[in-house]
Amino acid sequence: MPGGYTGTSRTRFMTPTQYDNDYVLCECDLEPLVSLVSELEKTHGVSIVKKPTVCSTMIRTEDSLEKQEFFLGEALITECEVAVDNTAGYGLCLGEEPQRSYSIAVIDALLHREATPREVLRFLDRQRDVIDERERREFNLILRTQVDIKLMEEE
Amino acid sequence: MGYVAVKGGQDAIANANELVEYYRLKGRTEPVRLDQVKTQFRLAIDRAMGEGSLYAPEHAALALIQVEGDSFEAAFHLRAYRTTLERRYYSEVMNTREMIVERRISSTFREIPGGQILGPTRDYSMRLLEPALLQQSLGSIDTFLEKVQGYLEPEKLHGITTFGKVIDLFQAEGIITRETQEGDNRRVVDVTREAIKFPAPRSAVLQMLARAETGGLMCMGYSTMRGFAVGHGTIGELRVGRVPLRVVDARGRRRYLGRIKVTECEMVGGAAKRRAAKRGEKNGRSSSKERPTLSVGYGLCFGQNETKAICMGMVDTALRSPDPLSPASSQEFVLHHTECVEGYGFTNHLKLPHYVTFQSELDNIRRVVKAGEQKPQAVTG
């Protein structure tokens, strides 16, 4: 790779938080997520409080120098609310994704019980690795286009 | 001049709507699938989302299929769809420093921290048509994808990183100036909820530029380079990548929603130096004692749309340097005339019946002509 790689390493999450779990649930492939939730439905009482609904979020941002906040535009999102064994769960994700938002809501509820089912924790760990690998591969393809620009007079 | 409503033609309108669909399909080719458009027309989708001011790749793809690729109509459809959505959240302030970069270049420095990354771009191609694409099949696509993936050596993969920004170098050296002055209006205006008034606060300006029509914005940006404004800026940094989006949920918890792709550009120029000098003169100080600095114009838009982000940066700079000879320095001129749905809508309203207003104009002309004919001829010579 020309010029060498000099980026700053991102810290790998050490203790998964709500936020980290959301990252996995929003970024993982839909099929294994839906499959896991189908299994969980067999052993837990899931009721839909608010069915998956599309809505929007306004995106707040700011310019990089003056820190002037402004609205970039809106993003379409899907939200869902469920109760799993009487524990509330909220699912939110980008796009029109009824299955994903429902699945996130179910897992969100299970993550907030005292004992989260092991299969959920295993799923999160496994999918975190899958996403990490996929993202690293993509990032390394991008790094192949890193360029070392030389002035002609240096030739 | 008032307008007079017309009615009629319901059947013809219904038939016209059907006929345009007939024209879209009469070639009897396989229907274009949403996933094909979403994955193979990503730049058209990015543009539609930016101008439609709604980040929704699937819906943008649907709009493009429905309107046969017309970028104005696609943006119009997305804006119309957006108004049907309940806005239930306002995100946390998105931090572009968290961007997972796909492309970053700088025209100001050869060497930037982390290096220049060309990323997915056609900037350095010959722009020759590629007839081989006509022979592509799923098999040949798989072969290509395997070839590219095969370049990677699994044991030598680097970890994912974020990168420092080029403007940090300028800031460390103290040669760029924050142009916001005490007393400037920093209120965060939402132009979708509040009619724009001039002078508009910078928040409204940036929001309108972010959803402006790409071609219109390029026209304004290009004019600044051709001498109709402060001058030729330089790209401090142009980056494309994905940035996390977060909201706070009903329980008050910070939730990750996913990442959106954006293009960000900081245009660096010498305008701040001139403006600082002007301020110095105004305050009775010698302009020569003002520390020379660079200005930064900011561009940010949905998707990979580099032309738009660059032009937004140039126009942001121009708009902060009022100049009566420069159209790109006039807020009203720029913001109204790059607003794609308003401009497109107003232009296309000309196709609607104007019979009464035109008849009135025609009557006036006929009356003046008749009056002129009845006047006695002046004696000349």
Distance of CA B161 to the CA centre of its chain: 28
The DSSP line for B243-259 is EEEEEE-TTS-EEEEEE
What digits encode the pLDDT tens for the residues A103-127? 999 999 999 888 889 999 999 999 9
Distance of CA B291 to the CA centre of its chain: 33
ipTM: 0.91
Of A77, A94, A139, Cβ closest to residue B100: A139
Chain A hits for B186, Cβ within 8 Å: 68-69
Chain A hits for B157, Cβ within 8 Å: 136-137, 140
How much is the mean pLDDT over chain A?
88
- At residue B53, φ and ψ (nearest 5 deg) are 60, 35
Could you tell me which chain A residue has the CA closest to the CA of B145?
A141
Chain A hits for B91, Cβ within 8 Å: 57-60, 75
Q: Is the dihedral of CA B321, B327, B330, B336 positive or negative?
A: negative
Beta bridge partners of B261: B242
Cβ A44 vs Cβ A110: under 8 Å: yes
CA distance linking residue B61 with residue B53, whole number of Å = 14
CA distance linking residue A103 with residue A96, whole number of Å = 13
Residue partners of B154: CB distance under 8 A and separation at least 6:
none
pLDDT for position B344: 94
Residue B287 confidence (pLDDT) above 90: no
A-B contacts (CB, under 8 Å): 238
| Amino acid in the structure at residue B88 | R
Tell me what percent of the residues of chain A surpass a pLDDT of 90: 77
For chain B, strand residue ranges (E) read 54-55, 87-90, 100-105, 116-117, 161-162, 234-248, 254-269, 295-302
CA distance linking residue B68 with residue B29, whole number of Å = 14
CA distance linking residue B43 with residue B38, whole number of Å = 9
B288 to chain A nearest CA, in Å? Answer: 25
Cβ A56 vs Cβ A75: under 8 Å: yes
Distance of CA B140 to the CA centre of its chain: 35
Could you tell me which chain A residue has the CA closest to the CA of B86?
A55
Per-residue DSSP letter, B292: P
Chain B hits for A150, Cβ within 8 Å: 110
pLDDT for position A13: 38
Domain ranges of chain A: 18-139
Q: Which two tokens stand for residue B103?
A: 């492309």
What digits encode the pLDDT tens for the residues B134-173? 999 999 999 999 999 999 999 999 999 999 999 999 888 8
- At residue B177, φ and ψ (nearest 5 deg) are -115, 135
Q: Which two tokens stand for residue A61?
A: 């941002």
Lowest mean pLDDT among A8-17, A133-142, B291-300: A8-17
